Amino acid sequence: DTGVSQDPRHKITKRGQNVTFRCDPISEHNRLYWYRQTLGQGPEFLTYFQNEAQLEKSRLLSDRFSAERPKGSFSTLEIQRTEQGDSAMYLCASSQGLGAFFGQGTRLTVV
């Protein structure tokens, strides 16, 4: 499968715990995006990498959130001290030009 891959698909965590999600983009794509989606809404932009450089961060990305793309390939999104409001679908997308291709997402539930 050469599409965007996200792991895990589902995560249930207790409030206050840290979680980390992984995204493997399409191999030749140099741009990688993280989005968050809640029920009834479209995806909301969180952050964007070109190769290993994090070029843009949304105001939605509080200081509890951190994203990395250390070698310009896979990326991780960590949420520290999770809150119930962090419950959402976290989507990763990659791109080589215009437009973007999404992974299947990681569904986070904070209890």
Partner 1 sequence: GQQLNQSPQSMFIQEGEDVSMNCTSSSIFNTWLWYKQEPGEGPVLLIALYKAGELTSNGRLTAQFGITRKDSFLNISASIPSDVGIYFCAGQFGGNNRLAFGKGNQVVVIP
Instruction: Enumerate binding residues for partner 1 (CB under 8 A).
Output: 4, 6, 31, 33, 40-45, 48, 50, 55-56, 58, 91, 93, 95, 97-105, 107
Q: Judged by CB, which is closer to partner 1: 58, or 80?
A: 58
Nearest distance in Å: CB 28, partner 1: 15
Nearest distance in Å: CB 70, partner 1: 21
Q: Judged by CB, which is closer to partner 1: 50, or 80?
A: 50
Query: What HEC string does the chain produce?
Result: CCCCEEECCEEEECCCCCEEEEEECCCCCCEEEEEEECCCCCCEEEEEEECCEEEEECCCCCCCEEEECCCCCCEEEEECCCCHHHCEEEEEEEECCCCCEECCCEEEEEC
Q: Judged by CB, which is closer to partner 1: 31, or 80?
A: 31
